């Protein structure tokens, strides 16, 4: 007779914390009035470089493309430590790095002529990048089955949120609340997943490093103009945002290249199938 449990190693409170985050975010979004995308968003501090409109903001997307293509090919190649990835983890990281590379192309296209329509091309792959990374964490920390379900669900939700925002803008009723939820809930869930579920691999600090870089990218985006003036008009905050976000992708790639599977923890050993032997089993004890 065989008994088994799902791969474990988590706090019993984890599902409740994640549920509270989701419900709390939904409640806050429901109480807020609709949030249109301000047209001032498209006016960035630095609009010069080599005769290209918004040149610094455009060219600073090249690291996205470099890291995305390199990461995609490394995961696809299945060499070295990356051979240890499960099929679900591999799919999540292929989507992550593929979307990261497309973010560089989409963001570059947007910055050449910033407007709402081109912003869609920028936001679609960026949203998928975030959702795929969270799905990868779920696959590792919660389990393959959960990760397999999360990857298409999260990515579809992210894409739908961008589509919903743009549709409302076309109707002159712009509303960013859905887009904010699709990004905000996974980002808030990300550190909870890292803190409350046991890792399957070493070098988990790569996930933390990526979170720090994404956080710095967001701060630089908000402080676009102050950073531009503080640095003597040499580099603006939005360009730094691109560099920090690309560094987050590099942190994930280096983690994948260096990490190794950890020995089973006590909770995981308990979760492994245990076969019990009947006391009357002649193949073990011989004829009685």
Q: Give pLDDT tens digits for 93-138.
A: 999 999 999 999 999 999 988 999 999 999 999 999 999 999 999 9
The pLDDT of residue 14: 87
- Residue 235's region, left for phi above 0, alpha for psi from -120 to 50, else beta, is beta
> Would the pLDDT of 201 be above 60?
yes
Hey, is 245 helix, strand or coil? Answer: helix
User: What percentage of the chain reaches a pLDDT higher than 90?
Assistant: 72
Q: What is the DSSP letter of 54?
A: T
The pLDDT of residue 256: 96
At 230-243, the pLDDT tens digits run: 988 888 999 999 99
Q: Identify the pLDDT of residue 275.
A: 44
CA 118 to chain centre: 22
In this model, does residue 156 exceed pLDDT 80?
Answer: yes
Highest mean pLDDT out of 4-8, 152-156, 201-205: 152-156
User: In whole angstroms, how far apart are CA 17 and each of 23, 119, 131, 140?
Assistant: 10, 33, 19, 19
Tell me the CA distances in angstroms from 172 to 34, 117, 118, 158, 165, one per residue in order: 12, 13, 17, 22, 11
What is the Cα–Cα distance from 237 to 109, expressed in whole angstroms?
Answer: 19
> What pLDDT, on a 0 to 100 scale, did the predictor assign at position 9?
52
List the structure tokens of 75: 């995961």
CA nearest to 73, candidates 263, 253, 279, 266 = 253
Residue 186 has pLDDT above 50, yes or no: yes
pLDDT (0 to 100) of residue 280: 47
pLDDT of residue 56: 87
- What is the number of residues in the chain? 288
Q: CB-based contacts of 80: which residues, under 8 Å, 6+ apart?
A: 257
Give the chain's mean pLDDT: 87
Give pLDDT, residue 50. Answer: 60
Residue found under tokens 């795929």: 132
Region 65-78: mean pLDDT is 95
């Amino acid at each position: 007779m065989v008994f088994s449990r799902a791969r474990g190693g988590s706090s019993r409170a984890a599902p409740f914390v994640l549920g509270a985050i989701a419900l709390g975010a939904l409640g806050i979004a429901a109480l807020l009035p609709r949030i249109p995308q301000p047209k001032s968003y498209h006016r960035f501090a630095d609009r010069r470089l080599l005769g290209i409109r918004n040149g610094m903001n455009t060219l600073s997307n090249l690291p996205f493309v470099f890291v995305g293509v390199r990461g995609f090919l490394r995961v696809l190649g299945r060499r070295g430590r990356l051979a240890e990835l499960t099929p679900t983890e591999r799919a999540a990281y292929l989507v992550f790095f593929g979307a990261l590379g497309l973010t560089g192309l989409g963001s570059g296209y947007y910055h050449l002529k910033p407007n709402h329509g081109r912003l869609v091309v920028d936001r679609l792959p960026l949203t998928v990048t975030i959702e795929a990374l969270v799905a990868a964490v779920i696959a590792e920390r919660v389990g393959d089955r959960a990760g397999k379900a999360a990857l298409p669900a999260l990515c579809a939700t992210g894409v739908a949120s961008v589509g919903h925002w743009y549709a409302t803008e076309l109707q002159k009723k712009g509303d960013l609340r859905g887009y904010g939820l699709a990004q905000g809930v996974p980002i808030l869930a990300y550190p909870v997943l890292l803190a409350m579920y046991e890792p399957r691999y070493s070098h988990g600090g790569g996930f933390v490093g990526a979170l720090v870089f994404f956080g710095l990218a967001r701060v630089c985006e908000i402080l676009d103009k102050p950073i531009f003036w503080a640095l003597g008009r040499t580099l603006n905050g939005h360009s730094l945002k691109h560099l920090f976000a690309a560094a987050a992708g590099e942190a994930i790639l280096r983690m994948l290249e260096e990490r190794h599977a950890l020995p089973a923890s006590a909770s995981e050993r308990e979760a492994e199938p245990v076969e019990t032997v009947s006391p009357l089993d002649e193949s073990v004890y011989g004829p009685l």
